[in-house]
C-alpha cells in the first residue's frame, strides 16, 4: 500500500515539513499550505525571489526562511489559524516599521489575512531593506 505523502498540518494549519535547504523543500512547504494561505505563500516567495534573486531558502522548525547565506536569515513565515505571520528578523531597523510588534526587540511582523490586501510595493521594499542588513543566525 502506498504511503500517504500529504504532510501533517500542525496547529493553525501550519504544514509539518522536514528541515531542509533549497527551493524544492520550500516549495514543498508552500504546496502543503491549506486553502487561501497557499496563494499567500506563493506570492511571498515570488516577491522575495524577485527582489533578491540569489536568496537562500530553507525550511526549519516547520517554517520557510529566506537569507543571504546558509543559516543567516532575514525573513520567515508561518501559518496561523486565521492569517500568515511574516517575521522580519531585523524588522525594527526597517523604514517604515512593519506593523506588528514582537517580544523580541529586533523582530517585527506583518500578518496577512485572507480578506486584506497587501501593499506589495511596501512588502518588496521591506524585503530589499531586510536583505541588506546582517541577518539573524539560526
**One pLDDT digit (tens) per residue for the chain, 138 residues:** 344 567 787 877 889 888 999 999 999 999 999 999 999 999 999 999 999 999 999 999 999 999 999 999 999 999 999 999 999 999 999 999 999 999 999 999 999 999 999 999 999 999 999 999 999 999
**Looking at residue 107, which CATH number applies to its domain?**
3.90.1150.200
Q: Provide the number of structural domains found in the chain.
A: 1
**Main-chain phi, psi angles of 68, to 5 degrees:** -100, -15
Examine residue 128 and state whether it is found in any structural domain, yes or no. Answer: yes
Rg, Å, the chain Cα set: 14
Domain enclosing residue 115, as ranges: 11-133
**How far is Cα 96 from Cα 84, in angstroms, rounded to an integer?**
20
Examine residue 69 and state whether it is found in any structural domain, yes or no. Answer: yes
Buried b (16+ CB within 10 A) or exposed e, 86-121: bbbbbbeebeeebeeeeeeeebbbbebeeeeebeee
Angle at 52 between CA 55 and CA 31, to 5 degrees: 60
Examine residue 138 and state whether it is found in any structural domain, yes or no. Answer: no
Examine residue 103 and state whether it is found in any structural domain, yes or no. Answer: yes
Examine residue 93 and state whether it is found in any structural domain, yes or no. Answer: yes
Examine residue 66 and state whether it is found in any structural domain, yes or no. Answer: yes
CB 13 within 8 A of CB 79: yes
Examine residue 1 and state whether it is found in any structural domain, yes or no. Answer: no
Q: How many CB atoms lie within 10 A of CB 54?
A: 7
Examine residue 25 and state whether it is found in any structural domain, yes or no. Answer: yes
Amino acid at each position: 500500500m502506498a504511503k500517504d505523502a500529504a504532510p501533517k498540518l500542525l496547529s493553525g494549519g501550519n504544514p509539518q515539513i522536514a528541515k531542509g535547504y533549497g527551493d524544492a523543500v520550500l516549495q514543498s512547504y508552500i504546496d502543503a499550505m491549506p486553502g487561501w494561505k497557499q496563494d499567500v505563500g506563493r506570492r511571498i516567495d515570488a516577491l522575495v525571489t524577485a527582489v533578491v534573486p540569489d536568496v537562500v531558502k530553507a525550511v526549519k522548525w516547520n517554517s520557510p526562511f529566506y537569507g543571504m547565506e546558509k543559516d543567516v536569515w532575514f525573513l520567515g513565515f508561518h501559518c496561523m489559524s486565521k492569517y500568515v505571520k511574516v517575521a522580519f528578523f531585523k524588522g525594527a531597523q526597517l523604514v517604515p516599521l512593519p506593523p506588528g510588534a514582537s517580544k523580541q526587540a529586533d523582530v517585527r511582523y506583518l500578518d496577512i489575512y485572507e480578506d486584506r490586501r497587501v501593499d506589495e510595493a511596501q512588502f518588496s521594499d521591506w524585503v530589499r531593506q531586510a536583505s541588506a542588513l546582517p541577518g539573524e543566525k539560526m
